[in-house]
């Protein structure tokens, strides 16, 4: 029987330990022990350890960052998100269900894929509208807006960050729950329709940007700061029955774990109802 070189024995053992989840952490990035610790553990030379790590890097199992260490490459099963409206509301042909990782729709996407979603309670702030927010909500930069920040998880792993902006005047006109730091079960859009505002979402505009993650995003999602895994950044402006913008939402989606879907025109219902079921690696 052929005897493997020492570096290959070390590499194979590390591969098994990685696949067993030994180095996994609840948040952030899974990191291998330092080279000196690996040398001691395997009673191996520095070159042997580096050859083993180089082989694992070639297999896309680890990634080494200068001055920081060697990290396990996260290979999640992608989550498929429907960004376009899923269906028309019966009897109201001009009204569509929002789509786009929103409340019930997000949970339906998860259920179809056999995944377990969860999210944090919202973090609420009041700020003056920034240039981008003021532009899309069509308000002045002196106007104040309510921000509702939330993060979502799949099987306990961070999957997206989302911030929605609403004119503060909505609170004085009856939508007081916007200031509550807790989830609104029926969704904010449905809630706004139940208040004296009587808002019904009839359309939205999406803008999609792709960029490297910033440090906060890299830390939260466990992404390389090198930018080798980018994030999608979606900007959604929702419009009511009077053509007025009432919400602006910014969502950050890591590209290694999200697949974004749009359905336009006549698409078979099975494709709409089961996003990602026809996807394949190629």
List pLDDT tens digits, range 167-181.
999 999 999 999 999
pLDDT at 264 exceeding the cut of 90? no
Q: 191-226: per-residue pLDDT in tens? A: 999 999 999 988 899 999 999 999 999 889 988 777
Which is more confidently placed, 240 or 73? 240
CATH topology of domain 6-72: Arc Repressor Mutant, subunit A (1.10.10)
Residue 127 has pLDDT above 90, yes or no: yes
- 3-state secondary structure string across the chain: CCCCCHHHHHHHHHHHHHHCCCCCCCCCCCECCCHHHHHHHHCCCHHHHHHHHHHHHHCCCEEEECCCEEEECCCCCCEEEECCCCCEECCEEEEECCCCCCHHHHHHHHHHCCCCEEECCCEEEEEECCHHHHHHHCCCCCCEEEEEEEEEEECCEEEEEEEEEEECHHHHCCCHHHHCCCCCCCCHHHHHHHCCCCCCEEEEEEEEEEECCCHHHHHHHCCCCCCCCCEEEEEEEEEECCCCEEEEEEEEEECCCEEEECCCCCCCHHHHHCCCCCCCCC
Check if the beta carbon of residue 119 is closer than 8 Å to that of residue 151. yes
Domain locations in the chain? Answer: 6-72, 79-273
Owner of token pair 């890299």: 218
CATH number assigned to the domain with residue range 79-273, chosen from the 4 options 3.40.1410.10, 3.30.360.10, 2.40.30.40, 1.10.10.10: 3.40.1410.10
| Average pLDDT over the chain, rounded to an integer | 86
Closest by alpha carbon to 161, among 170, 171, 153?
153
Quick one: pLDDT at residue 99?
Answer: 58
What sign results for the dihedral spanned by CA atoms 259, 264, 268, 272?
A: positive
Q: Is the pLDDT of residue 113 over 90?
A: no
Angstrom CA distances, 12 to 30, 42, 207, 218, stand at 18, 12, 45, 28
Q: Which residue has the higher pLDDT, 239 or 274?
A: 239
pLDDT > 90? residue 275? no
pLDDT 10s digits, 81-105: 888 876 544 454 444 455 555 666 7
Angstrom distance (rounded) from CA 73 to CA 223: 9
Does the pTM exceed 0.85?
no
Structure tokens at 108: 């339906």
Residue 221 near residue 157 (C-beta atoms within 8 A) = no
What is the tens place of the pLDDT at every residue in 131-150? 999 999 999 998 999 999 99
* Average pLDDT for 33-60: 92
Distances (CA, A) of 25 to 21, 28, 74, 84, 158: 9, 7, 11, 34, 12
């Amino acid at each position: 029987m052929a005897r493997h070189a020492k570096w290959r024995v070390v590499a194979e053992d590390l591969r098994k330990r990685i696949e067993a989840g030994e180095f996994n952490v609840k948040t952030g990035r899974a990191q291998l022990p330092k080279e000196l610790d690996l040398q001691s553990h395997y009673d191996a030379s520095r070159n042997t350890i580096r050859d083993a790590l180089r082989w694992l890097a070639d297999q896309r199992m680890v990634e080494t960052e200068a001055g920081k260490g060697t990290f396990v490459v996260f290979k999640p099963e992608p989550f498929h998100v429907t960004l376009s409206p899923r269906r028309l509301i019966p009897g109201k042909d001009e009204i569509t269900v929002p789509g786009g990782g929103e409340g019930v729709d997000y949970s339906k996407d998860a259920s179809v894929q056999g995944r377990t979603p969860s999210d944090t309670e919202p973090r609420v702030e009041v700020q003056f509208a920034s240039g981008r927010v003021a532009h899309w909500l069509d308000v002045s930069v002196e106007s104040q807006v309510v921000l509702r920040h939330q993060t979502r998880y799949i099987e306990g792993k961070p999957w997206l960050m989302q911030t929605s902006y609403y004119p503060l005047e909505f609170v004085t006109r009856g939508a007081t729950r916007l200031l509550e730091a807790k989830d609104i079960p029926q969704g904010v859009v449905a809630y706004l329709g139940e208040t004296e505002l009587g808002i019904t979402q009839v359309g939205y505009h999406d803008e999609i940007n792709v960029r490297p993650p910033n440090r906060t995003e890299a830390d939260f999602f466990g992404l390389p700061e090198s930018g080798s895994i980018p994030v999608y950044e979606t900007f959604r402006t929702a419009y009511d029955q009077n053509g007025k913008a009432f919400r602006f939402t910014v969502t950050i989606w890591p590209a290694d774990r999200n697949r974004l879907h749009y359905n336009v025109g006549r698409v078979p219902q099975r494709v709409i109802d089961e996003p990602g079921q026809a996807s394949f690696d190629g």
